């Protein structure tokens, strides 16, 4: 968690906009679709080339069913079309119209990219997390391990692994009887967590500033600016933007005690993944404001003004507290949603 003072060390950090991060969260069929789409968009698969289901399956080391799904999705998006006889032809690139296809289709040469199966815990994590975030707005909730295992078709060991990961970010805890509990998130609780953040994060930023490379700051600012371009755009990921500023950048702070204390506030990051959830959403204009605040902080750091950047971060967190309050106000007008069988209201 110490300082990365130069570009060589900074490059050891995994890029936050690495597409493989997003791909790892997808189903096999969605990853196959994304890989083929990127090959078309980048010109590696060109108009007139022929794609066969069996060859896609072989190149990506997957079964024919997800390969078939990926090809049909591309066909629906008019990036490929069914070929005479069998298979599909590449016909166009998104945003550039349809390219003419002449003569007999050529067999496409696919990159060999092995798509690994999604681990069991990953398949269920997102759904369970979203359900908990929604229900926690209304009440304390108990998670029943055996029912979770039955619902998702996984072992109790997998369930415990998922709950341990959620415990590490403060989403769940254990009561005196050893039951997993997701505590009711109230306006007072979130306000107290934000108070902790706006007292500690600006100081963490001030201490981190001398150890953060200019190249990292430029990349992080570019990610935030890219998110603002045509916002909200397909593939926008609040996790990446939040993590860049509030986790990766602050991890350069040499004061481990400040970072340890801030670890308790990570639970506030989780609902930002669900901007369009009927309970957890907040107005998109407020998300745009938050992105602009991120850009301002990076700009001040790039201008070597850490004290001003710390003050800007303080104000950003005060505004974030208000944005969370609007989430509660929105939820107050919604009837609590029915709980799945693996959750029990306390």
Residue/partner pairs of 222-226 with CB below 8 Å, 24 or more apart: 223/16, 223/17, 224/291, 224/294, 224/295, 224/298, 225/295, 226/17
Are 183 and 140 in contact by the 8 Å Cβ rule? The answer is yes
Q: In what order do the strands lie in the sheet with 173-174?
A: 173-174, 180-182, 141-143, 343-345
pLDDT recorded at residue 178? 93
Of 234, 335, 326, nearest in space to 281 by CA: 326
With a cut of 80, say whether residue 261 has pLDDT above it: yes
Task: Look up residue 301 and give its two tokens.
Answer: 């750091």
Task: Look up residue 137 and give its two tokens.
Answer: 């707005």
With a cut of 80, say whether residue 232 has pLDDT above it: no
With a cut of 50, say whether residue 207 has pLDDT above it: yes
E strand or H helix at 89: strand 88-90
pLDDT recorded at residue 298? 97
Of 143, 125, 139, 72, nearest in space to 270 by CA: 125
How much of the chain exceeds pLDDT 90, in percent? Answer: 41
E strand or H helix at 34: helix 28-41
Does 120-184+335-345 match 7-15+186-331 at the fold level?
A: no
Q: What is the spatial distance between Cα 192 and Cα 180, in angstroms, rounded to a whole number?
A: 23
Q: What is the spatial distance between Cα 138 and Cα 317, in angstroms, rounded to a whole number?
A: 24
CATH of domain 120-184+335-345: 1.10.10.10
Task: Return the domain boundaries, the chain.
Answer: 7-15+186-331, 27-107, 120-184+335-345
Minimum mean pLDDT range among 4-13, 193-202, 234-243: 4-13
**pLDDT tens-digit series, residues 267-292:** 888 877 776 677 777 788 888 999 99
Helix 53-60, helix 64-76: angle, nearest 10: 120
**pLDDT tens-digit series, residues 14-67:** 333 333 334 445 678 888 888 998 888 888 888 888 899 889 988 988 888 788
- Name the fold adopted by 7-15+186-331: 1.20.120
**pLDDT tens-digit series, residues 76-85:** 888 898 887 7
DSSP 195-244: HHHHHHHHHHHHHHGGGS-HHHHHHHHHHHHHHHTTSSPTT--HHHHHHI
Are 168 and 175 in contact by the 8 Å Cβ rule? The answer is no
Q: Is 92 helix (H, G, I), strand (E, B) or coil?
A: strand
pLDDT recorded at residue 16? 34
Task: Look up residue 186 and give its two tokens.
Answer: 């109230």
In this prediction the pTM is 0.64
Among the ranges 7-16, 108-117, 163-172, 234-243, which has the highest mean pLDDT value? 163-172
Distances (CA, A) of 84 to 58, 71, 107, 177, 333: 22, 15, 13, 65, 55
- Cα angle value 66/72/75 (rounded, 5°): 145
pLDDT recorded at residue 92? 65
Are 206 and 310 in contact by the 8 Å Cβ rule? The answer is yes
φ/ψ bin of 170: left (φ > 0), alpha (ψ from -120 to 50), beta (otherwise): left
CATH of domain 27-107: 1.10.10.10
E strand or H helix at 180: strand 180-182
With a cut of 60, say whether residue 307 has pLDDT above it: yes
């Amino acid at each position: 968690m110490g300082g990365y003072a130069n570009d060589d060390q900074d490059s050891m950090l995994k890029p936050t906009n690495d597409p493989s991060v997003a791909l790892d969260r997808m189903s096999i069929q969605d990853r196959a679709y994304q890989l083929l789409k990127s090959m078309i968009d980048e010109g590696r698969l060109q108009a007139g080339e022929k794609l066969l289901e069996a060859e896609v399956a072989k190149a990506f080391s997957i079964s024919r069913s997800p390969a078939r799904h990926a090809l049909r999705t591309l066909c629906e998006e008019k990036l490929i079309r069914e070929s005479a006889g069998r298979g599909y032809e590449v016909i166009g690139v998104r945003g550039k119209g349809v390219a003419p296809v002449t003569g007999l289709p050529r067999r496409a040469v696919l990159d060999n990219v092995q798509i690994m199966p999604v681990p069991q815990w990953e398949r269920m994590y997102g759904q369970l997390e979203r359900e908990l975030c929604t229900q926690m707005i209304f009440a304390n909730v108990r998670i029943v391990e055996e029912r979770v295992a039955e619902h998702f078709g996984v072992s109790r060991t997998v369930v415990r692994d998922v709950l341990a990961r959620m415990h590490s970010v403060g989403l769940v805890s254990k009561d005196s009887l050893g039951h997993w509990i997701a505590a009711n998130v109230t306006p007072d609780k979130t306000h107290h967590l934000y108070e902790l953040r706006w007292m500690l994060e600006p100081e963490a930023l001030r201490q981190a500033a001398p150890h953060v490379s200019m190249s990292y700051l430029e990349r992080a600012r570019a990610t935030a600016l890219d998110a603002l371009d045509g916002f909200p755009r397909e593939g926008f990921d609040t996790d990446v933007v939040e993590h860049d500023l509030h986790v990766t950048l602050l991890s350069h702070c040499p004061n481990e005690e400040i970072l340890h204390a801030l670890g308790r506030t990570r639970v506030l990051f989780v609902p930002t993944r669900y901007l369009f959830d009927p309970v957890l959403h907040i107005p998109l204009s407020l998300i745009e404001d938050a992105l602009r605040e991120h850009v301002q902080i990076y700009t001040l750091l790039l201008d070597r003004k850490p004290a001003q950047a710390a003050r800007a971060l303080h104000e950003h967190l005060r505004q974030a507290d208000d944005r969370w309050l609007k989430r509660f106000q929105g939820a107050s007008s919604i009837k609590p949603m029915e709980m799945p069988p693996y959750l029990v209201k306390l």
